[in-house]
């Protein structure tokens, strides 16, 4: 039976894990979306080919994605110390999580953008749309449902990573599971953290599914209104 003090600690740890997940997901997308857009634009078949730079950036993304999180977290400790002044605690965990998650997000964004019919892009180009207009008015809006699904996958993955960050005292449920469950031989604490993580993941998934369904419904209504003028925004801006 969990004592009141442990229940309070689990509640605080749950809030910390949710806060870290939301913050890291947001930061990762702030970095990952521009990276993903660049990888698509600079591809040899993209709207602004830059093969050499695309190869370099893509290689860095692949290297960071291929390193397991725990190993990456240890390897980048000098970088983490340079950024936040420490290699332990929540701040250090956030740096490691962002470095690990941003390349993952970049590839997910890239795949979402590549799903768009190239004919739509060619149609916008034929009407004189600039590269920036194609990105902001075609690529990102058309890929939004897929991007929303990617946010769900990223958030649940980051939540799992944040639990592993407990090894460096990263706070949240992972820290509680390691310090009070594993190191003090408390299987009840371990079980409680697992159950809470399962509940949080399911809540995130349910909320994301609801938002995605609502977005798809609104898109269908909007498509009915503008189907006769698919590039009205381009005419208005010219």
The per-residue pLDDT for range 181-226, each reduced to its tens digit, is 888 888 888 889 889 989 988 888 887 777 767 766 666 555 544 4
pLDDT in tens, 148-181: 888 888 888 888 888 777 777 777 888 888 888 8
Max Cα–Cα distance, the chain, nearest Å: 69
pTM of the model: 0.82
Whole-number pLDDT of residue 88 = 80
Calculate mean pLDDT across residues 30-52: 90
* Domain 4-237 class in CATH: mainly alpha
Per-domain boundaries in the chain: 4-237
Inter-CA distances, 162 with 34, 98, 146, 235, Å: 24, 10, 24, 47
Mean pLDDT of the chain: 83
């Amino acid at each position: 039976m969990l004592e009141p003090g442990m229940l309070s600690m689990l509640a605080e740890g749950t809030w910390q894990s949710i806060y870290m997940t939301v913050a890291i997901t947001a930061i990762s997308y702030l970095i990952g979306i521009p990276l993903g857009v660049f990888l698509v634009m600079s591809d040899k078949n993209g709207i602004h080919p830059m093969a050499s730079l695309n190869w370099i950036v893509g290689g860095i993304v692949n290297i960071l994605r291929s390193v397991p999180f725990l190993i990456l977290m240890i390897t980048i400790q000098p970088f983490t110390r340079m950024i936040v002044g420490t290699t332990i605690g929540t701040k250090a965990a956030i740096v490691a999580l962002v470095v690990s998650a941003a390349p993952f997000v970049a590839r997910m964004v890239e795949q979402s953008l590549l799903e768009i019919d190239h004919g739509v892009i060619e149609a916008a180009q034929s009407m004189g749309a600039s590269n920036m207009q194609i990105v902001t008015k075609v690529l990102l809006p058309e890929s939004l449902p897929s991007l929303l699904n990617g946010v769900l996958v990223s958030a649940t993955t980051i939540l799992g990573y944040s639990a592993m960050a407990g090894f460096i005292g990263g706070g949240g449920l992972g820290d509680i599971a390691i310090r009070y469950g594993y190191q003090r031989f408390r299987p009840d604490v371990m079980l409680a953290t697992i159950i809470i993580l399962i509940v949080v993941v399911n809540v995130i998934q349910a909320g994301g599914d609801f938002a995605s369904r609502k977005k798809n419904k609104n898109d269908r209504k909007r498509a009915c209104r503008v189907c006769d003028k698919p590039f009205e925004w381009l005419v208005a801006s010219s």
